[in-house]
Structure 1
Amino acid sequence: MENDKPIDQSAIDAFINEESAENVDEVVRKYEAESRFRKFSGNIGKLVAGICIAMSLFHLYTAGFGVLEAIKQRNIHLTFCLVLSFLLYPSGPKGGTNRITWWDWILVGLSVGVGSYLMIIYDALANRGGVTEPMDIYMGGILCLLVLEAARRATGKELPIMALCFVAYALFGDMIPGEFGHRGYSLERLIDHMFLTTEGIYGVALGVSATYIFLFILFGAFLTETGMAKFFNSLSMAVAGGSPGGPAKVAVFASGLLGMINGSAVANVATIGAFTIPLMKSIGYRPHFAGAVEAVASTGGQIMPPVMGAAAFVMAEFLGMSYTTIMIAAVVPAALYYLACWTMIHLEALKLGLSGLPKAQLPNAGEVFRKQGHLSIPIIGIVALLLYGLTPLYAAFFTIILTIIVSYMRKATAISFHGFIRALEAGAKGSVGVAMACAVVGFVVGVSSLTSLGLTFGGNILSFSHNNLLITLILTMITMLILGMGLPTTACYIVGATIAAPALIKLGVIPLVAHFFVFYFACLSNLTPPVCLAAFTAAGIAGAGPYKVGWTSTRLGVAGFLVPFLAVYSPMLMFAGTYSTFALVEALVTAVIGVIALSAALENWLYRKCLLWERALMMVGALMLMIPGIITDIAGGIAVGIVFFNQRRSANQKN
C-alpha cells in the first residue's frame, strides 16, 4: 500500500544524506555519559587530537606487527584512556565543561606516572617471587583511585559505586554473617591483587578492550568516514520505505545495519531516530509507538553479527572461544529478535491502515548499489576473514586497510588525509568509555576471584530456585535487568558472567548459551523501565512520555525477550550441543512460526482484530511452539493454524 500524499522530501533527503539534526548531539549527551566530551579549539584541541591519533596508531601497529606482553599492552592502553578521560570529560556538570582545570592536569600527570612505573618495574616483578614493595602498594592505590574517578567521568557514578561496594565486601568480609562471609583481606593484599595480577584491573576485560574492541571501534570510525551510514540509510529507504508502515521498517533496517558499526544503542537511536521518528509520526504512527520502534531496533544492533557489541568480544575471551563461534551463535537469535520487531510493526501498520512512503520519493535500490555498493566489501571482507580463521584482531586490522582502499573506488567515498585523521581521533575517543568500564569492572572480577563470591552468589540462586532451571533463568534475567539500570552493557555482562552465569552452567546449560543468556539481557536492559536509556532517548525525540515509550518498547520486544529462553531449551538454535539436521530445521521452523504468532497475539491483529478466544489460543500456541518437543510443536501448530485459517476465511468473506 503506497501513500499518495507526498511526504516532506527534505526529511527523506536529510535521512539519506545523514545530515545531523540540531539536537542529536544534545540528546546523546543527555542520556549517554560516554558522549559528554569537552569541545576544544586551539593548541589544547591539537594536543588532545595528537594523543588520540597516537593511541590509534599504537593499536594499529600492535595489531599488525604483534601485541605486547599482556600487562604491557593493557597498561599502555589504560594509560592512554586515563589521560583522555581526564582531558575529555569534565569532573562534573558544573565544572567548566570546556576548560581543563589544574586538578585535571594533576590527574593526567599521575596517570602517566603510574603507567610508566609499571612499565619500568614489570620485568623485575618476575624475579621478586611475588614479593611486593611499599612503592608498589602506593602506586597501585593511586591507580585504583584514578580508575574509579576516570570511570565516574566516562560512564557515570553507578559503576564506581558498585566497584566500591565490592571493595568493601573484600575488606570487611569477616564481619558479614552467613554464607556470604569470608575471612577478609587487608587493603595491601587487595591493592596487590588489583594492580599486579591479571585478575584485577589488568584482567581479561581490559585485555579485550586493548585489542579486539579498540580495533573494531576504529574499524567503525573508518567506515563512517566512507559514508557507510548514507549507504545503509539509502538501502533501507529503497528496500522498506514503500511498504505499509514504511518509515518504521526503515528504522528497523537502518538501525540493525548501523548497529554493526556503532555499538551504542543510545547513539544509534539519536542518529537514526532523529529522522525516522518524525517520518513515522508523519504517516500516522503514535509518538510513543514511533519512539519504541526506534529504541527496540537500535538496541538489537548490539546482538547483530558480524560486528556485535563490545561485550561479545569479552564473552569470547571468557569462554576461550573464537569470536567466529560467538558470531555464528548469534545469527538465529538476532534474526528472531528482528523478525518479532518487524512483524509487530507490520501488523500495527495494517491495524491503523497506514501506508508506506510514496515510491516516487524513494531511492532506487539498483542505483544505490551502483553508486555505493562497493562500501559493502569491507563488511563482506571481515566476515570472510573471520570465517577463514583469522583472529578478530588481524581481521579488523586488514579490514581497516581494505576499507581505505575500497573507499577510493568512488570519489565521493574516498577517505582524504583529513578523514584519515578524523577516523583515528574518533576511534580513540569512542574507546575511552568502554575501556574505563572494562577497567573498573576489574574490581568486581578481582574481588569475586579473591573471595569466591561468584560461586557463593550462584549457589544462593540455585538454593532459592531449588535447582529449577526455569526459576533460575528468570532470577538471572531479573538480576541482569536490574544491573542494566545503572551499568553500561559491557560492564553489565561482565558482572553477570561473573556472578550469575556459573549457576546456569551448574544446572547443565551449555557455557556458550549461559553466557549468551546473560549478554542478551544486558543488552535488553536498554528497553525496560524504570531506567531504559534507549527508550528515554527515543522519547525525547518523539515528544512522548519516557515511561510510555519504555513500556511500549518492552511490549514490542517481548517476543525477543523469549528468544534467550528458547535458546537455553533448544541450544541447537545457537548451533551448540549435538543435534541432527532434521531437529535443527524443526527448531528453526517452529521458532519462526512461534515468534510471528506471539507477535500477532501481542499486537491483537492478524488479518483483522483478534477475537478474545483467538488471541488466547494464538498466545498459547505460540508458547507451545517455542517449547522443545514434537508433541508441543504439533499442538502449538494446530492452535495457531486454527486462528490463522479462521481469520483468513473471515477476511476472504469480507472481501
Structure 2
Amino acid sequence: MAKMNQGEGLKAAQRLKEEEELGLRRPQGWQLYLVAAIALSWSLFQLSIASWLLLDTTYIRAIHLAFALLIVFLAYPTLGRDVRIPGLRWLGEKHKIPIPDMILAVLAALAALYIVLDYEGIAMRVGRPSMFDMVVGIFLVVVLLEAARRVIGPALPVIALIFTLYAFFGPYMPDFLAFRGVSLARYVSQISLTTEGIYGIPLGVSARIVFLFVLFGALLDKAGAGKFFIDLAMSLLGRYKGGPAKAAVLASGMTGMVSGSSIANVVTTGTFTIPLMKKVGYPAKKAAAIEVAVSTNGQLMPPIMGAAAFIIAEYVNISYLEVVKAAAIPAFASYFALFFLTHLEASKLGMRGLTKAEMPVFFAILRSGFYYLVPILVLLYELIIPRHSPDLAAYRAILVLAVIMLLQHPVKALIYGGSPLQGLKQGAMDILSGLISGGRNMVAVAVATAAAGIIVGVVTLGLGGLITDIINTLSRGNLYLMLLITALASLILGMGLPTTANYIVMASLTAPALVTIAGWQGFEVPLIAAHLFVFYFGILADDTPPVGLAAYAASAIARSDPIPTGLQAFAYDIRTAVLPFMFIFNTDMLLVGVEGYFLPFYIFGMTCIGAFAFVSATQCWFVTRTRWYELIMLLGVALIMFRPGFFAGFIGIENHYLSYMVGLALYLVIFALQKLRTRKPSAAAA
C-alpha cells in the first residue's frame, strides 16, 4: 500500500510539472505532432540566430513571441475544467485542438509579427498610428493577456489591466494618486508598436539569452544528467547524518544552476531524495519541505539564477559577470546554511546516514557520467575566461552537449554490448526530444516577459515618479518600512507570478524607488542591491502558502499535507529571507567596492558563520538544544556577521572587518558551552 501511495504521489508531482511546462491539452493523431513541430522549429530558429542568422533585434523579439503565442493557443485550453454546455465544449477541450483555438493561434502570431511585416511603415508613423495599427495593437494586447492567463494564471493579466486602466483614468483619481493620463493612440504606440512595451528589454533577453539556457537545461535533462547529479551527491554525502537531505541540497544546487523552475527541480531530484529522507527518519512534511527549500533556492545559484541574471544585467546596465559576482556570496551562504540546517534537523531527530550497502559508489558513478560535467565546464569557461557573451557561451555548450548525447549510447553499446547504430538512433532521438522540450519549456517565460512588458511600458509613460512618491508616502520615508513593504509585495505577487515576471514587475515599480528614497535620506543603496532584493523575495514566493506550487509537488511525492509543507519550507527559508535585508545595509556581501583575492573569501566565510548562527537560533539547536541566553548570543553573532559596520561603529572600532573576529569568538564560546553541556551527562553516566 505504501508503494502504491508513493507511486501515486510521483505521478501527481509529475503531472504538476507537465502542466506547468507542457500545458493541459494532450491532442491525438496528427495534432499530437503539431505543437512538437512548432517547438522544434522554435529551438532551431533560436540556435540559428545564435550562430549564423543575422536579424534586427526587433525581428528576433517578434518572431520569438509569435512562436510562444502559437504554442499557447494550441497547447492550453481556454478553461482548465471541462465545459458541458453544447456548442461551448471546445473551451475546455483537452483531447484535440479545436478550430477556434487554431484560428486564434494564427491570428495571435500574425499580430505579434505585425511590427516586422510593416516595419518601415510603423517606423514612419511613430506617435501617429493608423487605424489598422490601432486595431492590431489592441488585439495583440488582448491576446497576450489571454495567453498569460492560460499559461501562468490571472495574476499578471489583472495587474496589467489595472495599470492600463490607471494610465487612462489617472486624471480622475484623487490628488494623491492623480496622473495626467494618456491617449489611446499613445498607449498603443508605446505598448504594441515600439520596443518600450511588449517588445522591450525583458522579451529581448528572453529571445536572445534565456531560451538558450533553458534549452541547455532541457537537453541536459534528456541526456540523463539529473540522475547522475543525484547519484553523485548521494555517493559523496549519503553516509553522513541525514545524508539524503544533504545530498538533496547538493543535487538541487547542481540542477538549479541550469534550471529556472522550482517545480522541475522538485520533481527531478525529489523523486529520489524525498523517499530516502523518509527512510532515514525525516518526517514526510520535513522531507518534502527540505526539497522545496533547496529547489526554490536553486534559482539563486549562478550562472543562470532562474533566467533573471540576464535581465538584471540589462536593467542595471552592468555586465553579466558583475551580476554573478554580486549574487555569489548570498547564494552560496544560503546554500551552506541549508546544509547546516539539514544537519541540525538530523541531530534533533537522532538520525543516521545511509549504510555502505545503500550508497552508490562514488568512482563508479563518476566514471559512468563524468562527461555530463563537460558541457557545464565549457559553459563556465566561456563565461569566465574569454568572457564571451552569455548567448554564445550557451550555444557552444549546447554543441558540446549535443555531441555527447549523440555518442554516449553508441559508445556504451561498444563497451557493454549492443548495437552502435541503435545507440546512434537513440542519441538522435534524445536530441530531438530535448529540442522540443526546450521550446515547450520556454512558453511560460516568453509570455510572462512579454506581458510584463505591458506594465513596464505603462510605467515608462510617466508613472515612475508617481510610484516613488506613493511608496514614500506609504512608508513615511522610513527605509526599513519601505523594505518591508517591498518584500511583502514581492511575496504576494510571487504567489501568482513566475519568478522572472515577478522580478520584472517589482524591478520596474520598486527598485528605482528604493534607491531614490534611500538617497533622499542620505543613504546610498547600489542599484544592483535593490534589484537583487526584489529578486530574492520573488523566488521565496515559490514556497509561500497557500499558492506555492513547489510545495504541492513535493508534498505529492512525500504524501504530506501541502499547506503545512509550504509553511515548514518557508520556515527553513527564513535564513534566505534575512539576507536581502542585510546586503542592503552591508554591500560588502555583494562585493560592491571590494577588491583583492583574500577579502572576498574572508567576507564569505564570516557571512556563512552568521548564517549558521541564524539557522541555529531559528531551529533552537546548535550542538544541543539552545537555552534562552544562547539564543540571544546566536542572534548577536548573526547581527555582527551580517552588519559588521554597525557593530564596529557601536563599539568604536575603526576597521569594521575586525568586528568579524568578535562575532567569531562569541560563536566559539557558544559552541564550547554547548559541547561542555553535552559531555556532563556522559561523564555522570560513566
TM-score calculated relative to the size of structure 2:
0.89
| Among 290, 293, 296, the residue aligned to 1:296 | 293
For residues 94 and 548 of structure 2, the distance between their equivalents in structure 1, rounded to whole angstroms, comes to 26
CA positional deviation for 1:34:
4.4
CA deviations on 1:249-282 (whole Å, 9 max, x unpaired) are 1211111111122211022212322332222122
Contact 1:288 1:552 in 2 (8 A): yes
- Kindly provide the amino acid, as one letter, of the partner of residue 157 in structure 1: P
Q: In the alignment, does 2:67 pair up with 1:51?
A: no
Equivalent residue runs for 1:442-591 within 5 Å:
442-452=453-463, 454-506=464-516, 507=518, 508-578=524-594, 584-591=600-607
- Kindly provide the amino acid, as one letter, of the partner of residue 220 in structure 1: G
Which segment drifts farther, 539-548 or 201-210? Answer: 539-548
CA positional deviation for 1:232:
0.5
| Among 599, 610, 619, the residue aligned to 2:615 | 599
Contact 2:210 2:310 in 1 (8 A): yes
| Among 423, 426, 450, the residue aligned to 1:439 | 450
Q: In the alignment, does 2:300 pair up with 1:273?
A: no
Q: In the alignment, does 2:349 pair up with 1:352?
A: yes
CA positional deviation for 1:177:
1.2
Contact 1:28 1:267 in 2 (8 A): yes
Contact 2:316 2:527 in 1 (8 A): yes
| Among 45, 63, 67, the residue aligned to 1:76 | 63
Q: Please, which runs of 5 or more residues in structure 1 have no aligned partner?
A: 1-7
Contact 1:90 1:98 in 2 (8 A): no
CA positional deviation for 1:634:
4.9
For residues 21 and 465 of structure 2, the distance between their equivalents in structure 1, rounded to whole angstroms, comes to 32
Q: Please, which runs of 5 or more residues in structure 2 have no aligned partner?
A: 83-91, 413-422, 519-523, 652-658
- Kindly provide the amino acid, as one letter, of the partner of residue 442 in structure 2: S
**Is the partner of 2:553 in helix, strand or coil?**
helix
RMSD of aligned Cα (Å): 2.4
CA positional deviation for 1:335:
0.8
Which segment drifts farther, 176-185 or 236-245? Answer: 176-185
CA deviations on 1:176-201 (whole Å, 9 max, x unpaired) are 11232112222232122111111111
Partner of 1:395: 393
CA positional deviation for 1:228:
0.9
Which segment drifts farther, 641-650 or 493-502? Answer: 641-650
For residues 499 and 287 of structure 2, the distance between their equivalents in structure 1, rounded to whole angstroms, comes to 24
For residues 494 and 113 of structure 2, the distance between their equivalents in structure 1, rounded to whole angstroms, comes to 35
- Kindly provide the amino acid, as one letter, of the partner of residue 230 in structure 1: K
**Is the partner of 1:22 in helix, strand or coil?**
helix
For residues 408 and 435 of structure 1, the distance between their equivalents in structure 2, rounded to whole angstroms, comes to 29
CA deviations on 1:126-185 (whole Å, 9 max, x unpaired) are 334543211111111111111011111111111111111111111111111123211222
- CA 1:276 to 1:129, structure 2 compared with 1: closer, same or farther past 3 Å? closer
Partner of 1:216: 213
For residues 129 and 488 of structure 1, the distance between their equivalents in structure 2, rounded to whole angstroms, comes to 33
Which segment drifts farther, 83-92 or 571-580? Answer: 571-580
CA deviations on 1:396-448 (whole Å, 9 max, x unpaired) are 11111011123456335977221221111111100001100011111110111
- Kindly provide the amino acid, as one letter, of the partner of residue 25 in structure 1: Q
- CA 1:185 to 1:128, structure 2 compared with 1: closer, same or farther past 3 Å? closer
- Kindly provide the amino acid, as one letter, of the partner of residue 430 in structure 2: G
- Kindly provide the amino acid, as one letter, of the partner of residue 377 in structure 1: V
Contact 2:405 2:431 in 1 (8 A): no
Contact 1:83 1:112 in 2 (8 A): yes
- CA 1:433 to 1:129, structure 2 compared with 1: closer, same or farther past 3 Å? closer
**Is the partner of 1:309 in helix, strand or coil?**
coil
Partner of 1:342: 339
CA positional deviation for 1:583:
5.4
For residues 661 and 234 of structure 2, the distance between their equivalents in structure 1, rounded to whole angstroms, comes to 39
Equivalent residue runs for 1:595-634 within 5 Å:
595-629=611-645, 630=648, 631=651, 633-634=660-661
Contact 2:624 2:678 in 1 (8 A): yes
| Among 28, 34, 37, the residue aligned to 2:17 | 28
CA positional deviation for 1:224:
1.6
For residues 129 and 517 of structure 1, the distance between their equivalents in structure 2, rounded to whole angstroms, comes to 36
Partner of 2:656: none
Which segment drifts farther, 113-122 or 358-367? Answer: 113-122
Partner of 1:113: 110
Contact 1:27 1:270 in 2 (8 A): no
For residues 335 and 590 of structure 1, the distance between their equivalents in structure 2, rounded to whole angstroms, comes to 12
Contact 1:455 1:502 in 2 (8 A): no
- CA 1:409 to 1:116, structure 2 compared with 1: closer, same or farther past 3 Å? closer
- Kindly provide the amino acid, as one letter, of the partner of residue 583 in structure 2: A
**Is the partner of 2:94 in helix, strand or coil?**
coil
Contact 1:159 1:487 in 2 (8 A): yes
- CA 1:569 to 1:391, structure 2 compared with 1: closer, same or farther past 3 Å? same
- Kindly provide the amino acid, as one letter, of the partner of residue 519 in structure 1: F
For residues 257 and 560 of structure 2, the distance between their equivalents in structure 1, rounded to whole angstroms, comes to 28
For residues 673 and 323 of structure 2, the distance between their equivalents in structure 1, rounded to whole angstroms, comes to 41
Which segment drifts farther, 183-192 or 86-95? Answer: 183-192
Partner of 1:420: 431
Alignment length, in residue pairs? 639
Contact 1:382 1:399 in 2 (8 A): yes
For residues 170 and 562 of structure 1, the distance between their equivalents in structure 2, rounded to whole angstroms, comes to 35
- CA 1:150 to 1:610, structure 2 compared with 1: closer, same or farther past 3 Å? same
- CA 1:396 to 1:580, structure 2 compared with 1: closer, same or farther past 3 Å? closer
Contact 1:201 1:446 in 2 (8 A): yes
Partner of 1:3: none
- Kindly provide the amino acid, as one letter, of the partner of residue 226 in structure 2: A
CA positional deviation for 1:646:
0.7
Contact 2:408 2:427 in 1 (8 A): no
Contact 2:459 2:508 in 1 (8 A): yes
Which segment drifts farther, 111-120 or 320-329? Answer: 111-120
For residues 129 and 464 of structure 1, the distance between their equivalents in structure 2, rounded to whole angstroms, comes to 37
CA deviations on 1:88-131 (whole Å, 9 max, x unpaired) are 11111120112211210120221233244332210233334543
Which segment drifts farther, 374-383 or 263-272? Answer: 263-272
Contact 1:332 1:574 in 2 (8 A): yes
CA positional deviation for 1:75:
0.7
For residues 597 and 115 of structure 2, the distance between their equivalents in structure 1, rounded to whole angstroms, comes to 53
Which segment drifts farther, 159-168 or 630-639? Answer: 630-639
**Is the partner of 1:367 in helix, strand or coil?**
helix
For residues 237 and 588 of structure 1, the distance between their equivalents in structure 2, rounded to whole angstroms, comes to 26
State percent identity of aligned pairs. 38
For residues 27 and 105 of structure 1, the distance between their equivalents in structure 2, rounded to whole angstroms, comes to 25
Equivalent residue runs for 1:364-375 within 5 Å:
364-375=361-372
**Is the partner of 2:101 in helix, strand or coil?**
helix
Contact 2:128 2:185 in 1 (8 A): no
For residues 117 and 338 of structure 1, the distance between their equivalents in structure 2, rounded to whole angstroms, comes to 46
CA positional deviation for 1:651:
2.6
For residues 546 and 188 of structure 1, the distance between their equivalents in structure 2, rounded to whole angstroms, comes to 47
**Is the partner of 1:605 in helix, strand or coil?**
coil
- CA 1:504 to 1:129, structure 2 compared with 1: closer, same or farther past 3 Å? closer
Equivalent residue runs for 1:29-428 within 5 Å:
33-93=20-80, 94=82, 95-128=92-125, 130-387=127-384, 388-407=386-405, 410-411=408-409, 412=412, 416-428=427-439
Contact 1:340 1:557 in 2 (8 A): no
For residues 540 and 527 of structure 1, the distance between their equivalents in structure 2, rounded to whole angstroms, comes to 14
CA positional deviation for 1:527:
2.2
- CA 1:67 to 1:604, structure 2 compared with 1: closer, same or farther past 3 Å? farther
Contact 1:170 1:451 in 2 (8 A): no
